[in-house]
Structure 1
Amino acid sequence: MTAANIDPAAVKQGQRASWDALSANWEAVGERFELGAAAVTERLLDAGGVRAGHAVLDVGTGHGEPALTAARRVGPAGRVTGVDISPAMLDLARRRAEGTPNIGFAEADVESIDLPAASFDVVLSRWGLMFAVDHVAAFRGLARLLVPGGVLAAAVWGEAPGAPTISLGFRVLSERLELPPPPPGTPGPFSMADPEPLAAELAAAGFTDVSVTEFVVRFPFDSVEQCVAFTRAVTPPMLLRKVAERFGSADDPGTWQAFADATEPYRSGDGAFTLPSTALIVRAAVPARE
């Protein structure tokens, strides 16, 4: 489902600008994020059956995952291409991939990947598909890129309350700023959080053998302060600007104390803790030739 009043071009322009602006922050916090996210990468590679010699596409590669991990698995006989809407994020991915000869990157968004049909054995995406404006069109485009019998293996976020690593900051800032909820169908982190319509959209795009399963991702933090710093770093610039306009600074102490307080249900003391966050692992196949 897509909100009727959405301008796709404006959405893409906003996404590109936001991810470009966040790229330096992601470079700073990427290792912390991967302490949880790496388990999702392994799950996706296994679900896709990625093996030596495969050609793999990573959609919404961001800072280069799961593309980099896939490149190690496919080996020198395989190849991996990572695509993303953000040139700045791709620059970060390329720096991380230096010395990895079987990987390349290109700018594209999920709904307009200009690559040859039937050129990949597996399409991967880790928390990238939810930003598509038209879900079915995006899935249909990915199906076109897969060989007969090829597999899509992707992770998207489950319902917001069960994914605090991503949703808790949004909730606290939205409450502080008294923001209305986005219209239904708006692209965003939780636009594919309902398994039933997600599976139906994949089927409508021509995929078969569709499965959607929950996987709890555990993101560890050494302290509340570290969690606050991480969340501040990955918060979209648009929201930070609104905090600054309302409270005088994007670093408004009251706002970030409110976020720290919101982590209390996940903590047993003042030390290390984890934010368990539910992802949906999607596996779907393009029909094989008979």
Structure 2
Amino acid sequence: MTETNQEQAEYWGKSASGMKWLTFEEQIAASFAPVVELLLDRAELKPGQRVLDIGCGLGDVTLAAGRTVGPSGHVLGVDISAPFLKRARERAEGMENVGFALADAQTEPFPPAARDAMISRFGMMFFSDNVAAFTNIAGALKPGGRMTFAAWGPLAGNPWFYLPHRAATDRLGQMPKADRNAPGPLAFHDIDRVTGLMAEAGLADIEAHAVEVKLTPPGGLSGASALCTRLGPAARVLAHFDGSEADEAAIRDAVSTALEPYVEERRILMPATINLFQARRAGTA
């Protein structure tokens, strides 16, 4: 495991910030359900296919894909976080066509040419060497096998990120500037850069599109503002400045106000720009 990916393993497997994804499992799943729907619609999985789910987290996509490929197919969810996989396995109890593996997909020696397709929801943006990761994952696919993965688009198109960040920095101040191309949630915001990396890895039939969806955080304004404050940019700002409970409450109130334009019939429908990437392993089946 490379040094940088070891840092990712520490973050998602041991840090308080990473463990919040377990705490807010149901709220996160509900919020990102439209992205799962988009991903599986574009992946066009078929019954009987063998599928690789990269960065599977708590198994939302793995389980949905398992239902799509049916008992004659198989889905292997891969993640770098042992606690996430423990929960995913619990959720998959009774599904014999689903499995999970603790692994760094950038370097894991997957059985070659064993999978028909690869899918990923927000799991591909964290590698230290993207070309190496694309190349290694492609090696697990049969010739002609297709990759389909979703990543966050530009910051300006994703109030999920910029509204909590603005509320937190207005309260506590700016954090040091970070490289948005570095491993992290927004690392694949630049479609042209990512498709160039995919081409460098030897992938074929590369396509990428920015797709507009609406995220569906549950619990109305109070639930959505609480979730946005405890995860993501606001949580990182609070941790950096050692924010108090009063700071968190003030940020949550500011986020709630900022989310008011997205209330529709007491639900929050938050616009999001998702970059949807597809490519095939070179060769024919």
| TM-score relative to the length of structure 2 | 0.87
Change in CA separation of 1:114 and 1:279 when aligned onto 2, cut-off 3 Å: same
Change in CA separation of 1:44 and 1:253 when aligned onto 2, cut-off 3 Å: closer
Which string of whole-angstrom CA distances, capped at 9 and with x for unpartnered residues, describes residues 38-68 of structure 1? 3322332333331111110000000102110
Task: Give the C-alpha shift of residue 169 in structure 1.
Answer: 2.5
Would you say 1:232 and 2:233 are equivalent positions? Answer: no
Counterpart contact for 1:56–1:124, Cα < 8 Å: yes
- Aligned residue in 2 for 1:214: 210
- Aligned residue in 1 for 2:11: 18
Q: Name the stretch that deviates more: 112-121 or 173-182.
A: 173-182
Would you say 1:154 and 2:149 are equivalent positions? Answer: yes
Counterpart contact for 1:130–1:187, Cα < 8 Å: yes
Which runs of no fewer than 5 residues in structure 1 stay unpaired? 1-6
- Aligned residue in 2 for 1:37: 32
Change in CA separation of 1:275 and 1:201 when aligned onto 2, cut-off 3 Å: same
Task: Give the C-alpha shift of residue 198 in structure 1.
Answer: 1.3
- Aligned residue in 1 for 2:249: 253
- What is the RMSD of the two structures over their aligned residues, measured on CA atoms? 2.6
Question: How do residues 1-290 of structure 1 correspond to structure 2 at under 5 angstroms?
Answer: 9=3, 11-20=4-13, 21-22=16-17, 25-175=20-170, 176-183=172-179, 185-220=181-216, 221-235=218-232, 239-243=237-241, 245=242, 247-249=243-245, 252-267=248-263, 271-289=266-284
Q: Structure 2: which amino acid aligns with 1:218?
A: K
Report the Cα distance in structure 2 between the residues aligned to 1:160 and 1:238, rounded to whole angstroms: 16
Counterpart contact for 1:23–1:89, Cα < 8 Å: no
Q: Structure 2: which amino acid aligns with 1:219?
A: L
Task: Give the C-alpha shift of residue 204 in structure 1.
Answer: 1.1
Percent pairwise identity: 33
Task: Give the C-alpha shift of residue 223 in structure 1.
Answer: 2.4
Report the Cα distance in structure 2 between the residues aligned to 1:45 and 1:253, rounded to whole angstroms: 37
Report the Cα distance in structure 2 between the residues aligned to 1:213 and 1:226, rounded to whole angstroms: 31
Q: Structure 2: which amino acid aligns with 1:106?
A: A
Report the Cα distance in structure 1 between the residues aligned to 2:194 and 2:23, rounded to whole angstroms: 33
Report the Cα distance in structure 2 between the residues aligned to 1:169 and 1:114, rounded to whole angstroms: 39
Task: Give the C-alpha shift of residue 202 in structure 1.
Answer: 0.9
Task: Give the C-alpha shift of residue 8 in structure 1.
Answer: 5.1
Change in CA separation of 1:69 and 1:184 when aligned onto 2, cut-off 3 Å: closer
Counterpart contact for 2:181–2:188, Cα < 8 Å: no
Q: Secondary structure at the match of 1:131?
A: coil
Which runs of no fewer than 5 residues in structure 2 stay unpaired? none
Task: Give the C-alpha shift of residue 115 in structure 1.
Answer: 1.3
Report the Cα distance in structure 1 between the residues aligned to 2:84 and 2:65, rounded to whole angstroms: 18
Report the Cα distance in structure 2 between the residues aligned to 1:17 and 1:173, rounded to whole angstroms: 25
Change in CA separation of 1:133 and 1:63 when aligned onto 2, cut-off 3 Å: same
Q: Structure 1: which amino acid aligns with 2:223?
A: Q
| TM-score relative to the length of structure 1 | 0.86
